[in-house]
């Protein structure tokens, strides 16, 4: 089986490999790539006030595809772009270094305690807990650096670059002593036809995020997927102005999800394989609202050593998932999005209510779930998201004390004080069922202030 998997993987990577392009992209294509970096990470508002430049809108989808500017006559010259970027980025040789970040503070009241508290993965059972709690947190503050390197003339004029990003939600003993958590660290080569990436970033599977303002964005309650080290290849097939097909494949670290004093995790002898096929339907330009639909899957193994009787060494457990994601901006102000998943041993992907292995039965846990989100922009500054998310493990795979059902509803309101300063308020209702324990129910009110730079 493992041999066939490697053959299939090699075939998939072969399909994803970019074709040979003529030497160098056109000046127009290079202009698009620099505009993408500039618009995504540059704080150009203040610069434009002092020296107005008419930058055309850039359309970027979740794969990183960049749409063409709508009015080439308004496009600034390459010299103007480079001059502006020098004001907002450090340079070292031919590499531009663009810092960014969020100063992020939250305060929340919950009627019953949750895990973790500052954000919610699930609600603790009323058998064990039940009292209300108040939290104040700043550990979600995020710092990052984007790197933009030279283009590769002999590789289709592809842009080189990378990212390093951290926050402070790592393991800590006291809440006011947050530790660094590595979010992203990768290098990449990309243009509008392909992308090659090596390092740590989001999973290929289930790429969307619900519109909750909470740090954990529904993990453990229906939103599958996290970040892990990987080698990834993507291919963008422009069949027409109304059809873009994206293929993605990656090999990934097989992260162990269950920890106990008498259980040790190990690495399998083959990586976790992830893949996704996505369709962008409809015109892709200024004012357009294409529909995005994707199907994705992963398969791999986790290896455990059980030190307690009966002692077992190198026990292999399969992990897999099948997923669907969709995003539909119905109007310029209103839209819906959502995901569905089903699979087995999903703890490392924050599925199964963060349970992958039943350590008592020494077997995997199957689970099904998903979420949907509705958004509406009241004005250009006032926005609302509302949604529902659920994660439902198969009860027959569970033992007493494990979590058997998890769901939450949410509705929020955010206000853009400026383009970089956002205030938000959100109300959530959570319910977590436990095997042979009372369920946990909690209402949560969260306030958020976020300042980007």
pLDDT tens digits, one per residue of 134-147: 999 999 999 999 99
Parallel, antiparallel, or unpaired: how do β-strands 181-190 and 120-123 relate? unpaired
Whether the per-residue pLDDT at 439 is higher than 60: the answer is yes
Strand partners, 280: 244, 292
Question: What is d(CA 348, CA 367) in angstroms, rounded to the nearest whole number?
Answer: 13
DSSP string computed for 190-250: E-SSEEEEEEEEE-SSS-------STTTTTTTT----EEEEEEEEEEEEEETTEEEEEEEE
Token pair listed for 223: 């939103």
Q: What is the pLDDT of residues 29-41, one digit of tens each?
A: 445 555 555 555 5
Contact by Cβ (8 Å): 282, 291: yes
Q: What is the pLDDT of residues 151-198, one digit of tens each?
A: 999 888 999 999 999 999 998 888 899 999 999 999 999 999 999 999
Strand partners, 317: 302
Q: What is the pLDDT of residues 364-419, one digit of tens each?
A: 999 999 999 999 999 999 999 999 999 999 999 999 999 999 999 999 999 999 99
> What's the pLDDT score for residue 84?
59
Token pair listed for 195: 């992308």
SS3 81: helix
Residue 54 gets which letter from DSSP?
Answer: -
Task: Find all residues with CB under 8 Å of 398, minimum gap 6, and list them.
Answer: 355, 358, 365, 404, 435
Sequence ranges of the domains in the chain: 2-452
Whether the per-residue pLDDT at 66 is higher than 60: the answer is no
- pLDDT averaged over the chain? 86
pTM for this entry: 0.81
In 3D space, the residue among 246, 225, 223 whose CA is nearest the CA of residue 236 turns out to be 246
Whether the per-residue pLDDT at 60 is higher than 60: the answer is no
Angle (CA) 385-403-343 rounded to 5° is 75
Task: Find all residues with CB under 8 Å of 397, minimum gap 6, and list them.
Answer: 358, 361, 363, 364, 365, 366
Q: CATH number of 2-452: 2.40.160.10, 3.40.50.300, 1.25.40.10, 3.30.70.100?
A: 2.40.160.10
SS3 436: coil
Token pair listed for 115: 């895990």
Q: What is the mean pLDDT of residues 80-104?
A: 79
């Amino acid at each position: 089986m493992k041999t066939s998997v490697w053959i299939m993987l090699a075939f998939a990577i072969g399909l994803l490999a970019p074709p040979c392009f003529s030497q160098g992209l056109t000046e127009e294509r290079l202009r698009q790539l620099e505009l993408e970096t500039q618009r995504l990470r540059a704080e150009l508002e203040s610069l434009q006030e002092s020296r107005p430049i008419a930058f055309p809108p850039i359309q970027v989808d979740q794969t990183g595809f960049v749409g063409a500017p709508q009015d080439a006559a308004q496009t600034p010259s390459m010299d103007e772009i480079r001059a502006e970027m020098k004001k907002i980025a450090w340079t070292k040789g031919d590499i531009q270094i663009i810092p960014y970040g969020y100063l992020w503070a939250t305060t929340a009241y919950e009627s019953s305690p949750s895990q973790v508290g500052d954000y919610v993965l699930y609600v603790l059972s009323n058998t064990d807990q039940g009292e209300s709690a108040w939290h104040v947190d700043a550990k979600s503050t995020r710092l990052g650096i984007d790197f933009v390197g030279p283009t590769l003339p002999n590789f289709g004029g592809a842009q080189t670059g990378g990212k390093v990003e951290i926050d402070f939600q790592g393991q800590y003993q006291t809440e006011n002593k947050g530790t660094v958590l590595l979010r992203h660290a990768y290098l990449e080569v990309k243009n509008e036809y392909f992308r090659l990436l090596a390092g740590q970033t989001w999973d290929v599977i289930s790429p969307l995020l619900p519109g909750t303002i909470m740090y954990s964005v529904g993990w453990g309650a229906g939103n599958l997927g996290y970040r892990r080290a990987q080698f990834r290849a993507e291919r963008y097939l422009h069949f027409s102005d109304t059809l873009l097909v994206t293929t993605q494949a990656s090999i990934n670290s097989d992260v162990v999800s269950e920890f106990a004093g008498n259980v040790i995790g190990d690495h399998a002898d083959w990586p976790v394989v992830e893949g996704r096929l996505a369709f962008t339907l409809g015109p892709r330009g200024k004012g357009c609202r294409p529909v995005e639909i994707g199907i994705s899957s992963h398969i791999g193994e986790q290896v455990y050593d059980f030190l307690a009787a009966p002692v077992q060494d190198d026990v292999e457990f399969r992990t897999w998932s099948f997923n669907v994601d969709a995003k539909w901006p119905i109007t310029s102000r209103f839209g819906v999005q959502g995901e569905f998943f089903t699979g087995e041993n999903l703890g490392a992907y924050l599925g199964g209510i963060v349970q992958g292995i039943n350590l008592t039965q020494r077997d995997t846990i199957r689970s099904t779930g998903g979420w949907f989100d509705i958004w509406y922009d009241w004005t250009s500054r006032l926005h609302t998201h509302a949604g529902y998310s659920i994660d439902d493990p198969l009860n027959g795979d569970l033992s007493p004390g494990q979590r058997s059902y998890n769901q939450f509803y949410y509705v929020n309101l955010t206000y853009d004080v400026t383009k970089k300063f956002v205030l938000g308020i959100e109300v959530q209702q959570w319910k977590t069922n436990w095997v042979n324990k009372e369920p946990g129910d909690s209402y949560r009110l969260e306030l958020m202030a976020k300042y980007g730079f």
